[in-house]
């Protein structure tokens, strides 16, 4: 089954496993739909994603401390954290055109991004960051796996 948005329109305790794409579900809703012994796994964009752009685009979306906050919310919902890790990976844009594509494909990254209006900023960014035949950025991601405890004496799935 598939649901989008923050609200999960499913019966209580109906899933043994829930995998979440980058939209963020609320931990209480996750706890509600997980069956006892069930697990939830999510990978999200981290706070420092493409941090190199911030000096050029101060309006870049600040994702805030979601990793820590999300863990606290899962614990408050009665779920046990099995895995919580962050990972930063270098990525290369081979040209300014590649970077423009990324910014237009992810409009939440730099709200109001406009190629014509932001051209001078893009050219300054290219001059400052283009080295060794690419523009280096940092992908920041985190992964969280939580588990809903089964009642004592119950068989695990």
What confidence tens digit (pLDDT) does each residue in 17-67 have? 999 866 667 899 999 999 999 999 999 999 999 999 999 999 999 888 899
- Mean pLDDT along residues 79-95: 96
8 Å CB contact between 157 and 151: no
Residues 111, 61: Cα–Cα separation, whole Å: 7
CA 114 to each of CA 36, 54, 74, 99: distance values in angstroms, whole numbers, following the listed order: 48, 16, 37, 13
pTM flag (> 0.85): no
3-class SS shares of the chain: helix, strand, coil, % to 5 = 25, 30, 45
Q: Is 147 exposed, middle or buried (0-12, 13-18, 19+ CB in 10 A)?
A: middle
Over residues 99-141, the pLDDT tens digits come to 999 999 999 999 999 999 999 999 999 999 999 999 999 999 9
For the chain, domains (ranges, CATH) are 15-147 (3.40.50.150)
């Amino acid at each position: 089954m598939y649901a989008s948005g923050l609200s999960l329109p499913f019966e209580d305790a109906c899933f043994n496993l829930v995998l979440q794409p980058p939209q963020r579900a609320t931990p209480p809703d996750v706890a509600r739909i997980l069956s006892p012994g069930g697990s939830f796994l999510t990978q999200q964009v981290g706070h420092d994603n493409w941090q190199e752009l911030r000096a050029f685009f101060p309006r870049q979306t600040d994702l805030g401390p979601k990793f820590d906050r999300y863990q606290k919310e899962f614990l408050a919902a009665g779920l046990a954290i099995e895995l919580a890790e962050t990972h930063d990976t270098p990525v290369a844009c081979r040209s300014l055109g590649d970077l423009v594509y990324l910014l237009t494909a992810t409009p939440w990254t730099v709200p109001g991004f406009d190629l014509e209006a932001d051209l001078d900023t893009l050219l300054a960014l290219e001059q400052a960051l283009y080295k060794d035949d690419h523009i280096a950025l940092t992908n920041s991601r985190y992964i969280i796996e939580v588990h809903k405890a089964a009642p004592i004496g119950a068989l695990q799935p």
